[in-house]
Amino acid sequence: MFELIAPFFRHLYERTGLNFIVFYDPHEFGRFVAGISISLQLIFWSLLLSLVIGVVGAWTQRSQSAIWRGCVHAYIQAFRNTPPMIQLLFFYFALGAFTPSVDMGGYTQPIISSFVWAVISFGIFGGAFNVEIFRAGLDAVPESTLEAAESLCFSRWQTYTNVTLPLAFRISLPALTNNLVSLAKTTSLAYVIAVPEMTYVLNQVWSDNINVPEMMLLLFLYYVLVVTLLATALHALERRLVLPGYGQ
């Protein structure tokens, strides 16, 4: 792959001065690939955590206990109404200051790396929205459908897993797609706590090589590609799960 494209981009640089160094310099190419890998992992784990928080939160919001409901409500208010970058800085610098470090033989390393802090922070940020999205989905399942299940001898748990959840998930999916796509974009903020993801890596590359416009363009295209793929996948899922004859 690299051998195939390298001559072209080297040639391009020599002829036109357009310096896509990550495509012809082996060292910079390595950085670039590592950046992609970290960035995709960051997106994956952040979305996953936000989904788990969303499901658990929505479940908790329907609990009998007013205290639990209050906690979830406070969490949603706090994390929907503050900028994600401030949340990230708060987690990394404020909470990170209190987490222990381990001796790695000569130097110390915090138990929770900046990557993990970023996942925690984005998961919690996106989760706050997901709770509301899932809750709206659960609320939209008609009481009468659940009653039909009950009268067919379904237990509460059987009704929940076979009727409530499948319907709520389908109802939630369009809003969920929006939020997950938005969260995927937000992960680029991780560069402020030096997570070596795409934005951070290309920032380093353009500092070293003074090729800001080219790397900016690349960064831009990278996010267009990733976000398009994610949205396409989620929309395909939506189409697969659509309730035939309902709501369209």
Partner 1 sequence: MPSAPKSRTGDYRPWPDDKPIVSLNDVHKSYGMVEVLKGISLDVKKGEVICIIGPSGSGKSTLIRCINGLTPIQKGSITVEGQEVNDPKLDKLSLRRKVGIVFQQFNLFPHKTALQNVMMAPVLILREPKAEVEQRARALISKVRLTGKEDVYPGHLSGGQQQRVAIARSLAMRPDVMLFDEVTAALDPETVKEVLLTIKELAADGMTCILVTHEMGFAREVADHIYFTDLGVIVEHGAPAQFFTNAKDPRTRQFLSQVL
Verify binding: residue 163, partner 1, rule CB under 8 A: yes
> What's the closest the beta carbon of residue 144 comes to partner 1, in angstroms?
5
> What's the closest the beta carbon of residue 137 comes to partner 1, in angstroms?
13
Dihedrals phi, psi of 110, to nearest 5 degrees: -65, 145
Verify binding: residue 244, partner 1, rule CB under 8 A: yes
Verify binding: residue 238, partner 1, rule CB under 8 A: no
Q: Phi/psi zone of residue 106: left (φ > 0), alpha (ψ -120 to 50 degrees), beta?
A: left
> What is the dihedral sign for C-alpha 75, 76, 82, 83?
positive
Query: Residue 158 CB: number of other CB atoms within 10 A?
Result: 13
205-234: which residues touch partner 1 (CB under 8 A)?
none
Half-sphere exposure of 205 (CA within 13 A, CB side): 33
Chosen residue from 17, 107, 142, 239 binding partner 1 by CB under 8 A: 142
> What's the closest the beta carbon of residue 129 comes to partner 1, in angstroms?
25
Contact criterion met (CB below 8 Å) for 146 and 163: yes
CB nearer to partner 1: pick between 109 and 145: 145
Q: Which residues bind partner 1 (CB under 8 A)?
A: 142, 144-145, 147-155, 158, 162-163, 166-167, 170, 241, 243-246
